[in-house]
Each structure stands twice: as C-alpha cells, then as structure tokens.
Amino acid sequence: MSFKHKSLAIVHSRNSPLDFKIHINADKQLFVFHILNMKIKQPTLSQRAGVFFLSRFMLSKNAFSGVNLDMLKCPLCSDKYSNHDQPFERQKKFDFIFCDCINCGSFKASEAVWDDNFDGQLNDIQKVRISYDVRQYTDKPTSTGERRFFSIDQKYIDYRKSNNNLPTPAEQATNLIRFLGDETNKNMSPIRYLPDNIYLKIGAKTPFFCGQILIELHDRKLITGEEITINNDYFSMKEPLLSLAGWEKYEAEKKGKFSGNYAFIAYKFNQPDFENILNNHIKQIIPERFNLDVRDMKGHTEAGIIDNIMRQQIRDCAFVIADLTHKNNGAYWEAGYAEGLGKPVIYTCNEDIFQNDGTHFDTNHCTTLMWNNDKDDLIRFEDTLEATIRRSLNLYG
C-alpha cells in the first residue's frame, strides 16, 4: 500500500511487520523518517489501513511541515558526496538513536549524547575522524555476519574533540592499497569502481584529497586503472587494481614489514605514575629527537576498535614501547604481537617494581629500561631511551 503527495511518499509492505515510514524527498535526496513502529508481527488489514489513513490525515493537516530535514541527514557526513537514493536512516529504540549511513556506517548514541554533540558542536575534522572510526569498526566482518553499531558515548566524543588527527597521507595511501588488496582477494576479481565512501574508509577529509592519493599511487605505478576523473566533490577510476609493486607493498604491510612514522606505546591506562613518564618524557623526546609521532589506544572504548585497529597500529609502527610496571596482560600481548612481527620492542618498568617483583619470566631476560620519579634519574632515563631507540632502528650508521 502506498500514497504519494508532492515531496512525500508513504509506504509499507503488506507482508512485513508493521514498521511504518515516511519517505521525504527534498533536494533530490531521499530521507527516511520513522514516525511509527508498532512492533506488530502480523498486523491485520484494518490495522494497516488505520495507520495508512492516519498518515494521510497528518499529511492533509501539514503535520510534516515543521520537520527539520537536517534531523534526517547523517550528523557526521550530512550525506555529502553520496549518489544513493537513501543515504541515511535513523531510528530511536529506547533511549538510543540508531543510525545507518551509506557513507559512515552504522552507529548509535544516547539521546543526551546526540543533543549535546550533533547540533553544530563538532567541527568538520572531528566529524570525519569519527566517521573513519565508525567505518573501521563496521567494515570488519563478524563471525555471525550480523551488522554491528559503533557506540558513541560522551567519553569517546571528548577524546575525539582533542585527538582528531586524521591518518597521514602516507597512511591513507597504505589504507587504500590494503582496501584494494582485500577486496580483490575477497571477490577473486578486480572491482569495477571504488565506492563513493572510499574517502572515509581510508581517512581522507574529502573525495578530492582521496583522489589525489589515488593519482599519486597511480603515478608511482602501485595502482593501475583507466579513465581517472577528479573534482572537488567526486573522483573515479575504472577497474583500479594493484600492480606487482602494489601487491608487494600490500604483502609487506600485512606481515608487519612496513614501518610508519610513529611509535606505539603499550601500557595499562589511567595509572598516574607511568602516565607522568609517558606524557612528560616519552611523548616529548621521541618527536623532538626522532621526528616520530607517539600513539596508543587510550580513548578507544569499543572492543572492536581495540581488537582490529590495534593490530593495524602495531603492524605499521616503527617500534613498540611496552611498560610492564602494572603487570597488564594487554601490554604483554601487544609486545608479543609486535615481537612476532619482527618489530623492535623496548620494555620499561618502574625501578622498585622491577627489583622487588620482577616481570614475567618470558621478558625478564630482555633489556628493560627502568624509571622512577627522581629528577636526575629521569634525565638518565631519557638519554638511555634515546640510545636504545637509535640502536633498535640502526640509526648510528
């Protein structure tokens, strides 16, 4: 049963549960606004007719004239750069708002988080960074094949407001190579065109910047393809495929042989003693003396992100620093994963803890840099850390 009137179309299926929708068409975009979900598995004909004619009555009384169309757009990407008729769907369940966006993926937030953050409080870079996190989470396959919703809470929002750096151009290029390799392996054939949302999958700000990465990889003969088109809002390449050099880079990244421009820190979160060492010493000397970034997984609240992105971050880092002070199983696991990939791993520990309790027997024979809060000892710790990093990375010549 359906009814059409100007920019509105009211539809529902005779054979489906009574999940009634209003499709609002404006500016050639098709949005979906759920006005009723009665959860009736086998509605009678009279129930269907009642909902249908109720909606016609609401339409005749201009009940939809005050609908804010911005509420029907994705709060992260605003449905930009999408060629799909139905780019975004939003539904409220209990106190949460569940969203499906063809660009960003599937995510949910409480009404309070939504009201406090999705009405102009986030800038464009913060939105793109959140979209990138959502895509990283929802693109990973699950064992059951079920769709997963990335949970956006206030703690995560606060973290992203102050930590919103997008992947570097080099990392975006690696992400694009990884996407092409994964898709080709999965489908056993080249893809015809890149998806519209590829810029969010690799962490680029817009399709234009993603197109620049694509052209650079093509010019370096890492990607082959035809009919390259690029402008501010759109880019395309027919049948993009990794070249032999591109496949070599893809395999090297998968095996952890690619070294990025950052160090990865494994440690137990929210421990003031080590976080003082981390923030005031490690995160100071590594950028200053090696021009490398320092990253960790603090602020990632979703288990899916920890599981998937952490592996990628370790695979692509230059080296790992693992602090064993608090006997954190996660820090041991991350260090072991890095060791298995052949990454340099530098172990640290509080001096008193190391001397009194030691570390696990699998690591107590490894060189461990000890720290405490004595000012002179902290200076020696910085110098020893620098020397150890240089030795690990063969920076002496």
Question: What one-character DSSP code corresponds to residue 41?
Answer: S
Over 80: is that where the pLDDT of 46 sits? Answer: no
Q: Which residue has the tokens 């990632």?
A: 300
Structure tokens of 135? 């895509």
**Least trusted range by pLDDT, from 80-89, 105-114, 140-149, 236-245:** 80-89
Please give the Cα distance from 102 to 198 (Å, whole number): 11
Q: How many CB atoms lie within 10 A of CB 361?
A: 7
Over 90: is that where the pLDDT of 217 sits? Answer: yes
**What pLDDT sits at residue 335?**
92
Confidence of residue 283 (pLDDT cuts 50, 70, 90): very high
Which of the given ranges, 185-189, 318-322, 359-363, has the highest pLDDT on average? 318-322
**Least trusted range by pLDDT, from 150-164, 168-182, 287-301:** 287-301
Confidence of residue 58 (pLDDT cuts 50, 70, 90): low
Q: What are phi and psi of 187, to 5 degrees?
A: -90, -10
Residues 131-154 pLDDT 10s? 998 888 888 776 666 778 888 888
Confidence of residue 393 (pLDDT cuts 50, 70, 90): confident
Q: Are 308 and 136 in contact (CB under 8 A)?
A: yes
CATH number of 262-392: 3.40.50.10140
Picking from 149, 75, 73, the residue whose alpha carbon sits closest to that of residue 117 is: 75
**What pLDDT sits at residue 311?**
86
346 vs 305 pLDDT, higher one: 346
235 vs 346 pLDDT, higher one: 346
**pTM for this model (two decimals):** 0.65
Residues 306-321 pLDDT 10s? 677 788 889 889 999 9
**What pLDDT sits at residue 366?**
81
Q: Are 131 and 199 in contact (CB under 8 A)?
A: no
Average pLDDT over the chain, rounded to whole? 78
Q: What are phi and psi of 225, to 5 degrees?
A: 175, 175
Torsion of CA 238, 190, 88, 53, to 10 degrees: 100
Over 90: is that where the pLDDT of 246 sits? Answer: yes
**What pLDDT sits at residue 308?**
74
Question: What one-character DSSP code corresponds to residue 72?
Answer: G
Instruction: Count each helix (H run) and each strand (E run) in the chain, helices first.
Output: 14, 15
Please give the Cα distance from 266 to 274 (Å, whole number): 11
Residues 11-39 pLDDT 10s? 444 444 444 444 444 333 333 333 433 44
**What pLDDT sits at residue 230?**
74
**What pLDDT sits at residue 38?**
41
Question: What one-character DSSP code corresponds to residue 167?
Answer: P
Q: Are 55 and 10 in contact (CB under 8 A)?
A: yes
Beta bridge partners of 93: 96
Secondary structure (DSSP) of 263-322: EEEE--SS-HHHHHHIIIIIHHHHHHHH--EEE--TT---HHHHHHHHHHHHHH-SEEEE
CATH number of 169-254: 1.10.10.10
**What pLDDT sits at residue 18?**
41
Secondary structure (DSSP) of 92-154: EETTEEEEEETTTEEEEEEHHHHHHHSSS-S-HHHHHHHHHHHHHHHTS--SS-----EEE-H
Please give the Cα distance from 335 to 347 (Å, whole number): 9
Identity of the amino acid at 74? C
State percent of the chain over pLDDT 90: 26
Residue partners of 272: CB distance under 8 A and separation at least 6: none
Confidence of residue 48 (pLDDT cuts 50, 70, 90): low
Over 60: is that where the pLDDT of 54 sits? Answer: no
**What pLDDT sits at residue 265?**
95
Residue partners of 138: CB distance under 8 A and separation at least 6: 105, 106, 107, 147, 148, 149, 150
Domain ranges of the chain: 2-122, 169-254, 262-392
